[in-house]
Chain A
Amino acid sequence: MNQIRIPFGMRDILLDECTAKKQLQDRIEQVFRSYGYREIETPTLEFYQTYENAFADAQGDFDDREMVKVIDQDGKILAMRMDMTVPIARVCASKFSKIDPPYRLRYCSSVYKMRQAFAGKRSEVSDCGVELIGLDSQHDIEVLCCALDTMAAFGLEDYQLEIGNSDFFKQACRALNLNNVQTKTLADLIDRKSMVELQDYVAGLQISDQASTFFIELPMLGGQPDVLNKALAYCFNDELRQEVDSLLHIYDALKELGYADHVTFDLGKVPHLDYYTGIIFEGFVPGVGHSVLSGGRYDQLLNKFGRDLPACGFGVKLDYLTEVMTPEPEPTVTLYYPLSKQVEALKLARELRKKQPVKMVVRENGDVEVSK
């Protein structure tokens, strides 16, 4: 049998699609460089425990179903990297221990998640991103500006960066003394805007009407920046009001910097509570059914590797974007020549290549000839 198939979720990326992807990557990396981020590469394979250490929640639970696992000679489980943030955290906690923070690091690498079969999803995607490590939330705006400039560099007609802050939700849960299970269940329902189950669940929590309204309204507290003022009305203590104020401060700064048209908010964005510790944001473009950029603040991650440093970053999933990109044409000249004049033709081609790519085509008769 001819073995011509590729495994589920894998893609060959060919010709125009590949060109579009590389051109996009160039434009994005140009933005990252302009912000002073330095490039790093880490191995494709990490120890399973590295991810377990990074992602396990307070109860030690860790959903590893999407991880691509390999066994090494010693029987240890290895994982194909699921993201670049965890390897970078590992590097910062070990290899950079003698260098003073902050670290501004960028990457562009394939990351792997085993996706459901037959669902048309990708298991390997190119992830391009930055991590700003060692600076606290006062520097969130710098990271957001970089994300917005990155999205502008996509070259698409429209894009939206949606900003939330999971602390807003966490503060509310703490104030109400909700336990871990309750907090997690609420977060899941709110994040999926599962309005029907959310109302049932909140009704069973035995919390005040004001608090119930807060959680039920939370998934809908999204959209244009005026939603932040609306959110203030639902805040039931000063800590919550402070969270909204800090988002208002971010918005004012972004507005002054000219980004207002591309910024929206969603206070009901509360994924991965054990991972994100502050702002959290996602980028969307027309024609793509999921977020193309995602990031946030993760001040606890480096601590898990033994070095207590705050951090914030984001990544762009290139492959989802290339579906809506058309490659810019790369002008090429064609040089026709008979085999009898090959050396002459190669000499001419060498000169022409200094200006633009040359494609050489043999023909039976005639002379060496260049055509655009």
Chain B
Amino acid sequence: MSISIALTKGRLEKQTVAMLEESGYGIEKLKDKGRALVFPDTKKDIRYFLVKSNDCITYVEHGVADLGVVGKDTLLEGGKDYYEMLDLNIGKCKFILASLPEIDLLNKVGHIKIGTKYPNVARAYFNQKGMDVEIIKIDGSVELSPILGLCDGIVDIMETGTTLKENGLVVLDDVCPISVRVIVNKASFKMKRDEVMTIIEDLERIVKKHAEGNQ
């Protein structure tokens, strides 16, 4: 049976496509995209499409895509109606809590405001810390919000930490690690189990190979 895979476009796209290529999939059309949106595999009965990360979950939850490749950051913030079967170990970064050095946020008495693009992640983190905070949704340049006094701190993704440093923010705590995951539609896993497992196992081999190469 034919399989559809939703890939997250942008930052993660190149690395994901490289892993598929290494697994022996026919991804030539994905490398030379032009204006197309749907790309048939040149070797196997698979079609790929490129979507934004949030949409990746939506396509998989509805079963329009059987599999999706998407960052854990998006998964933590979105729905949960899928199987999360594999860590591709790429696109690695983490969620952190940061603030200006003079604010002792974790020991502050009184009302605390947190700016973030990821309100669910922030809420879960502070809930587990036993802290009641107000969360303010910010859509871009989250680092700006404590500097301008909108918030006491931020929960955001950190890759290198350069942006934080340049804005004079310090990391107070790691919230959780992030990497790229493979998610599977629940019904697809039942109706196309063999096809889905073949792809998962192919990718898993490459993940293991890379892990051994890094040791």
A284→B82 CA distance, assembly (Å): 15
Q: Is the interface of B mostly helix, strand, loop or mixed?
A: mixed
A22 on interface, CB distance cutoff 8 Å: no
Number of A interface residues at 8 Å Cβ cutoff, please give it. Answer: 25
Residues of B within 8 A of A197 (CB): 84
Q: B186 to A291, Cβ gap below 8 A?
A: yes
B64 on interface, CB distance cutoff 8 Å: yes
Q: How far is the CB of B49 from chain A (nearest CB, A)?
A: 16
A36 on interface, CB distance cutoff 8 Å: no
B87 on interface, CB distance cutoff 8 Å: yes
A119→B64 CA distance, assembly (Å): 13
A194→B72 CA distance, assembly (Å): 12
Q: Which of B168-200 contact A (CB under 8 A)?
A: 181, 184-191, 193
Q: A196 to B181, Cβ gap below 8 A?
A: yes
A160→B193 CA distance, assembly (Å): 12
Q: How far is the CB of A365 from chain B (nearest CB, A)?
A: 53
Q: How far is the CB of B199 from chain A (nearest CB, A)?
A: 14
Residues of A within 8 A of B191 (CB): 158, 160, 284-286
With contacts A119-B79, A193-B83 taken as known, whether A289 is within 8 angstroms of B181 at the C-beta atoms is no
Q: A289 to B187, Cβ gap below 8 A?
A: yes
Q: How far is the CB of A113 from chain B (nearest CB, A)?
A: 13
Residues of B within 8 A of A192 (CB): 80, 82-84
Q: How far is the CB of B128 from chain A (nearest CB, A)?
A: 12
With contacts A120-B58, A120-B62, A289-B62 taken as known, whether A284 is within 8 angstroms of B83 at the C-beta atoms is no
Q: How far is the CB of A63 from chain B (nearest CB, A)?
A: 12
- B190 CB contact (under 8 Å) in A194, A195, A264: A264
Q: B181 to A284, Cβ gap below 8 A?
A: no
The number of chain B residues touching the other chain, given as a range, is 20 to 34
| Chain A interface (Cβ < 8 Å from any Cβ of B) | 116, 119-120, 158, 160, 162, 192-197, 219, 222-223, 264, 266, 282, 284-286, 288-291
Residues of A within 8 A of B79 (CB): 116, 119
A249→B116 CA distance, assembly (Å): 53
B81 on interface, CB distance cutoff 8 Å: yes
- B83 CB contact (under 8 Å) in A120, A194, A223: A194
Q: How far is the CB of B66 from chain A (nearest CB, A)?
A: 9
Residues of A within 8 A of B86 (CB): 195-196
With contacts A120-B58, A160-B190, A196-B181 taken as known, whether A290 is within 8 angstroms of B63 at the C-beta atoms is yes
B156 on interface, CB distance cutoff 8 Å: no
Residues of A within 8 A of B82 (CB): 192
A288→B79 CA distance, assembly (Å): 18
Mask: chain B, 34-49; 1 = CB below 8 Å from A; 0 = not: 0000000000000000
With contacts A120-B58, A223-B193, A264-B190 taken as known, whether A196 is within 8 angstroms of B80 at the C-beta atoms is no
Residues of A within 8 A of B83 (CB): 192-194, 219
B18 on interface, CB distance cutoff 8 Å: no
B152 on interface, CB distance cutoff 8 Å: no
- 24 intermolecular pairs with C-beta atoms under 8 Å apart: A119-B79, A120-B58, A158-B191, A192-B83, A193-B83, A194-B84, A195-B85, A195-B87, A222-B193, A223-B193, A264-B190, A266-B190, A282-B190, A284-B190, A286-B1, A286-B191, A288-B63, A289-B62, A289-B64, A289-B186, A289-B187, A290-B63, A290-B186, A291-B187
CB-CB nearest in chain A for B81 = A290
CB-CB nearest in chain A for B82 = A192
